[in-house]
Amino acid sequence: MAYKNYPMVSRVIFGRGSFNQLGDILEPMRLNEKAPFIFLVDDVFKGNSWLTSRIPLAYKDEIIYISADEEPKTSQVDELVEQLILSHNDRPSGIIGIGGGTILDLAKAVAIMLTNEGLAKDYQGWDLVKFPAIYHVGIPTISGTGSEVSRTTVLTGPEKKLGINSDFTPFDQVILDPELTKDVPTNQWFYTGMDCFIHCVESLNGTYLNAFSKTYGEKAYELCKEIFLENNLSEKESQDKLMMASWHGGMSIAYSQVGVAHAMSYGLSYLLGTKHGIGNCIVFDHLSEFYPEDVKLFKDMKAKHKIDLPQNICRDLDDNEFNIMIDIALSLEPLWENALGKQWKQKISREKLISLYKKM
């Protein structure tokens, strides 16, 4: 097909307190009393009754708390799937992810792997998933990644960090309740928020840009500028707007691609375990030759919110390690093609990437 035919999230609720409707939303989706709903919840909420007391548990439903200290791995998905198969006779009625990009991506991947044979690593790539996932719901508690709306679930596998991109990946239901983001620490708010800003910059400056992506990207870009550079928003307005910016930023890259910052950040993440949001910030800070105006804005935002980024994280790396990062970064061909055009191989060299990484 010349034009891609993208699936979208089929149902979405937006509003402060909308999380209270979770029980009503799930009830009609329960297959039977033995088929549980499995709630994958960021363990930052363990013991937080404000949130957990509102998770509607019945019959054999189960909450599994998961740490977001590390980004999701294919092996972690396989273990969770095995755990669910062993502990329940019936296939779950649904998987509900409550957390940031890490937990949302895990929820999507587990829902896929419950109906598809083999290991999660076998499905990293594009359109390798054969059977529809089980019903899955995404409830973001931090805004920026766009994982709530995207067609991918980014996983680190034994050989690569790559998404399971498929028509079965997007959530069947998303609950956007900005109130859930109220306790996000400032640094993390900035890193994940900047993921959204960088999605917009890379989409709007890419060669894949089209009116579909542009309209979403421009809206999210404007919202980010308002949230991170102006002083006129209340905390609640800021939370509401960042949640919608994340959504629009995600929609913008759905029909285009990200670019240099993401490609290089994947390298950092693969080798050093640097998390996505902060990794993007560390890289983007040094990309003024690719995105001059927006790197300037980024530095203003960083100063305004007194964010200190880690420095010299590549200082002690040897040639072999630089090569690993560069191999990962350059393997993401669509990202480079989007950023630099069809002739991208003539515009970027390994030497250039080493010199950039050495500054980080």
Decide: is 93 part of the binding site for ligand NAD (CB under 6 A): no
Among 19, 35, 40, 71, binds ligand NAD (CB under 6 A): 71
Residue 258 CA to residue 43 CA, distance in Å, equals 30
Decide: is 18 part of the binding site for ligand NAD (CB under 6 A): no
Decide: is 113 part of the binding site for ligand NAD (CB under 6 A): no
* Residue 279: both structure tokens together: 């990794």
Binding positions for ligand NAD, 282-341, rule CB under 6 A: none
Instruction: Give, as one character, the DSSP assignment of residue 163.
Output: E
Residue 189 neighbours by CB distance under 10 Å: 23
- Least distance to ligand NAD from the beta carbon of 268, Å? 12
CB-nearest residue to Zn ion: 195
Residue numbers at the binding site for Zn ion (CB under 5 A): 195
Q: Which residues on neighbouring strands pair with residue 176, listed in sequence order? A: 14
Residue 349 neighbours by CB distance under 10 Å: 12
Q: Which stretch binds ligand NAD (CB under 6 A): 17-25, 97-105, 211-219, 320-328?
A: 97-105
- Least distance to ligand NAD from the beta carbon of 12, Å? 16
Decide: is 277 part of the binding site for ligand NAD (CB under 6 A): yes
Among 188, 288, 323, 331, binds ligand NAD (CB under 6 A): 188
**What is the number of alpha carbons within 13 Å of residue 56 lying toward its C-beta?**
10
Return phi, psi of residue 221, to 5°.
-60, -45
**What is the number of alpha carbons within 13 Å of residue 322 lying toward its C-beta?**
17
* Residue 81: both structure tokens together: 């799937």
For residue 178, the partner it binds in Zn ion, ligand NAD, none, with Cβ less than 5 to 8 A by kind, is none
- Least distance to ligand NAD from the beta carbon of 16, Å? 14
Q: Which is nearer to Zn ion, 195 or 285 (CB)?
A: 195
CA dihedral in degrees (169, 72, 39, 51; nearest 10)? -120
Q: Which residues on neighbouring strands pair with residue 13, listed in sequence order? A: 175
Decide: is 154 part of the binding site for ligand NAD (CB under 6 A): yes
- Least distance to Zn ion from the beta carbon of 266, Å? 10
Among 93, 116, 124, 150, binds ligand NAD (CB under 6 A): 150
Closest CA to 239 of 249, 227, 230: 227
Closest CA to 281 of 311, 309, 303, 312: 309
Q: Which is nearer to ligand NAD, 92 or 138 (CB)?
A: 138
Sorted by sequence, the CB contacts under 8 Å of residue 351 that are 6+ apart come out as none
For residue 328, the surrounding DSSP H or E stretch is helix 319-331
Q: Which residues on neighbouring strands pair with residue 95, listed in sequence order? A: 38, 136
- Least distance to ligand NAD from the beta carbon of 70, Å? 9
Q: Which is nearer to Zn ion, 148 or 195 (CB)?
A: 195
Q: Which is nearer to Zn ion, 92 or 163 (CB)?
A: 163
Helix, strand, coil tally for the chain in percent (to 5): 50, 10, 40
- Least distance to ligand NAD from the beta carbon of 183, Å? 4
Q: Which is nearer to Zn ion, 177 or 195 (CB)?
A: 195
Binding site for ligand NAD (CB under 6 A): 42, 44, 68, 71-72, 99-103, 105, 141-142, 144-147, 150, 152-154, 180-181, 183-184, 188, 192, 195, 275-277
